[in-house]
Amino acid sequence: MSAIRLNGQYCLLRDIEKKDFAAFVNLVLPKITATEPIPHTAAGVVASLVAEGKSESDPVVQAGLQSCASLGIKNMWVDGGAASVTEETPTDAAAGLETAFGFAAVQSGLALAAAMCNAFRRKIRVNEQEILVVRQSRELMMQIAQRVSAIKQVNEPVFITAGRLLGGMMKEGKALEAPETMTVLCMLSDLGATAVQIDLDKGILGFGQFSPANAMSSAILQGLDPEKVKTVRESIEKTNEQFRRAAEQQAGGRPGGQPGAQRLAVPAVIGTRRRR
């Protein structure tokens, strides 16, 4: 377990429950901004808890200290609810990398901090435009999920359904930054998508390689256990293998193909109605 100093003194870190990590992360999420480093935001929440009179032994404070340590904070000072990080180092958790989502970290709840960093610092490419994924409200996410469910065809992967919905919105002239469109991008990103190619004239939808880390972090934030998170990773790896084979076929059967061509083309899907 990583060490961390609070106001210059090493903190005694002890075992806590997964629910404590979840409680701490839920305090951090509403305070995340586009500019402040997420580890610093987490440190600020620790400071606010201390300002409320909670001790270092409090389970949620412990969750905060351990989360901050995993995110690379070595020394932090708190004063009246404000935090100052004076020493930190880069970590895989702070970068939201797959290596931070090991069995033990997911089981204990510590991986929630890394999953948070991943989910709130993503980008997705739509055609030639790189878009910063901005999380939307729970209500809007539920509305879009219902729309995706309503148009999903039998045996159709949900990422293709969401891609079709995105294409339909683009065809209607909606901007990618619009709340509804951005919500679809959030969903695609949560499913692991990192690049979407949409040809509105030809009605063709394509995808780049999926990110196991993105999909795993979304699963972790939903509270899935380590075995289910592992299943999510394996599903993404299977999808990427399908993409690789499709890319080889598109390249005329030449092994490897071109990296930029590694996408799954699904003709005539934009705006297609659900098949009963």
pLDDT of residue 252: 67
pLDDT of residue 253: 55
Which of 209, 208, 156, 165 has the alpha carbon at shortest distance from 186? 165
At 254, the pLDDT band (50, 70, 90 cuts) reads low
Cα gap 233→240, rounded to integer Å: 11
Query: Which residue type is seen at 31?
Result: K
Average pLDDT over residues 260-267: 44
Per-residue pLDDT of 67-95, as tens digits, reads: 999 999 999 999 988 999 999 999 999 99
Per-residue pLDDT of 93-125, as tens digits, reads: 999 999 999 999 999 999 999 999 999 999 999
Of the chain, the percentage scoring pLDDT greater than 70 comes to 91
Q: What SS3 state is found at 258?
A: coil
Our CA angle for 86, 90, 91, nearest 5°, is 125
Which of 98, 93, 94 has the alpha carbon at shortest distance from 215? 98
Per-residue pLDDT of 138-154, as tens digits, reads: 999 999 999 999 999 99
Q: Average the pLDDT over each of 81-85, 188-192, 204-208, 244-248 and give the range with the smallest value.
A: 244-248
Which residue ranges make up each domain of the chain? Answer: 5-118, 122-261
Average pLDDT over residues 45-63: 96
Close Cβ partners of 91 (under 8 Å, ≥ 6 residues apart): 70, 71, 72, 100
Evaluate if residue 260 carries a pLDDT over 50: no
How does DSSP classify residue 274? P
Evaluate if residue 185 carries a pLDDT over 50: yes
| Mean pLDDT for all residues in the chain | 91
Cα gap 157→129, rounded to integer Å: 24
Cα gap 196→213, rounded to integer Å: 17
Cα gap 37→42, rounded to integer Å: 9
Q: Average the pLDDT over each of 94-103, 161-170, 244-253 and give the range with the smallest value.
A: 244-253
Q: Average the pLDDT over each of 2-6, 51-55, 182-186 and give the range with the smallest value.
A: 2-6
pLDDT of residue 161: 96
Higher pLDDT, 268 or 16: 16
Q: What SS3 state is found at 218?
A: helix
At 5, the pLDDT band (50, 70, 90 cuts) reads very high
Evaluate if residue 129 carries a pLDDT over 70: yes
Evaluate if residue 273 carries a pLDDT over 60: no
| Measured distance between the N- and C-terminal CA atoms of the chain, rounded to whole angstroms | 53
Cα gap 90→72, rounded to integer Å: 6
Q: What is the dihedral of CA 36, 38, 39, 40, to 10 degrees?
A: 30
pLDDT of residue 247: 79
Higher pLDDT, 203 or 103: 103
Which helix (H) or strand (E) is 132 found in, with range?
strand 129-132
Cα gap 208→247, rounded to integer Å: 10
Average pLDDT over residues 190-197: 96
Whole-Å CA distances, 192 to 81, 176, 185: 36, 18, 11
Cα gap 245→256, rounded to integer Å: 9
pLDDT of residue 168: 95
Average pLDDT over residues 181-188: 97
What are the backbone angles phi and psi of residue 97, rounded to the nearest 5°? Answer: -85, 155
